Amino acid sequence: MSVSSYTIALIQTPCGTDIDANMTRTMEHIRKAAADGARVIVLQELFAWPYFCREVDERFFAWAEPVPGPTTGKLEKIAAELEVVIVASLFEKRAAGLYHNTTAVIDADGRYLGKYRKMHIPDDPGFHEKFYFTPGDQGYAVFDTRFGRIGVLICWDQWYPEAARITAMMGADLLVYPTAIAALPEEAGERSQRYLEAWQTIQRSHAIANGCFVASVNRVGTEGNLGFWGNSFLCGPFGEMIAQGGEQEESVTGTVDSSVLDRHRTTWPFFRDRRTDSYQPITSRWLDK
């Protein structure tokens, strides 16, 4: 049975090419976050790997693994030991030639609850994800954990209000977004700041429109020509910032209190006033005149 209030930790770290070292670093952060009172721990996108999608190179497929598999097994053990929920983003090998950007959810007793496969796959300079990942085909997902109903989305999904709306309508009190977002060299300075503010604004708007909490965790450090800006954050249903990190390695912690959501959604009754009879055009790619 879930509780109404808990501490969440968003772990943002740099990553190198030594996957074992990345894993060890993250495990240390998980232990410290749990010792400091975190009950739900969310890891950044592809937390144990460098962001290999900045290149097109088939050798990186060797890093993929089944989900559940070896990495989820390690996380199941530490989740049970520390009695924490862990949300972990992984590089999944589903079958020969079929790979996904996948997030697994592990409950506080070490049980693997299931996975969500990233639905929206980008392809931009420095972010060649379409070369590596097949879009998710299992739909959106909400997981009943010991500490709350958590809806999982991944990075590029965060720009799509439809994904947030559907996941909230499935009962999520908290939307989490494991993320790997960065600035290219030509985007440094003021331009990078505008992107950061847009990234935060779209996700805070999901919290407001759906009357839920939103947590986004982004990696830090420089990988090739990408500068990951961190700034992981937790916001509440008014879009208010509860906790926000900087550009350094850290665990960003805050409190999620789902007991406020009933009154919030009653006061701002967006779900009540939805005109579902008018939304059919949204399933079109574009509305030609």
Give the pLDDT means over successive 10-residue stretches in the chain (289 positions).
87 97 98 98 98 97 98 98 98 98 98 98 96 98 97 98 98 98 89 94 98 98 95 98 98 97 96 96 92
For the chain, how long is the longest CA-to-CA vector? 59
Q: How many CB atoms lie within 10 A of CB 285?
A: 5
Which pLDDT value is given to residue 187? 86
Give me the sheet containing 182-183, strands edge to edge.
182-183, 226-229, 220-223
Do strands 213-218 and 182-183 pair parallel, antiparallel, or not at all (unpaired)? unpaired
Q: Which residues are catalytic?
A: 45, 118, 155
pTM, two decimals, is 0.96
Domains of the chain: 5-276 (3.60.110.10)
Enumerate the β-bridge partners of residue 210: none
pLDDT given for residue 4 in this prediction: 86
Q: Distance between CA 84 and CA 41 in Å, rounded?
A: 7
Instruction: Find out whether 143 and 174 touch, Cβ atoms under 8 Å.
Output: no
Residue 37 CB neighbours (<10 A): 11
Question: Can you tell me the distance from the alpha carbon of 114 to that of 74, in angstroms, rounded to the nearest whole number?
Answer: 15
* Beta strand pairing call for 148-152 and 174-179: parallel
User: What is the per-residue DSSP string for the chain?
Assistant: ---SEEEEEEEE----S-HHHHHHHHHHHHHHHHHTT-SEEEEPTTTTS--GGGS--GGGGGG-B-SSSHHHHHHHHHHHHHT-EEEEEEEEEEETTEEEEEEEEE-TTS-EEEEEE------BTTB-HHHH-PPP-S--EEEEETTEEEEE--GGGGG-HHHHHHHHHTT-SEEEEEE--EE-GGGTTHHHHHHHHHHHHHHHHHHHHHTSEEEEEE-EEEETTEEEE---EEE-TT--EEEE--SSSEEEEEEEEGGGHHHHHHHS-TTTT--GGG-GGGGSS----
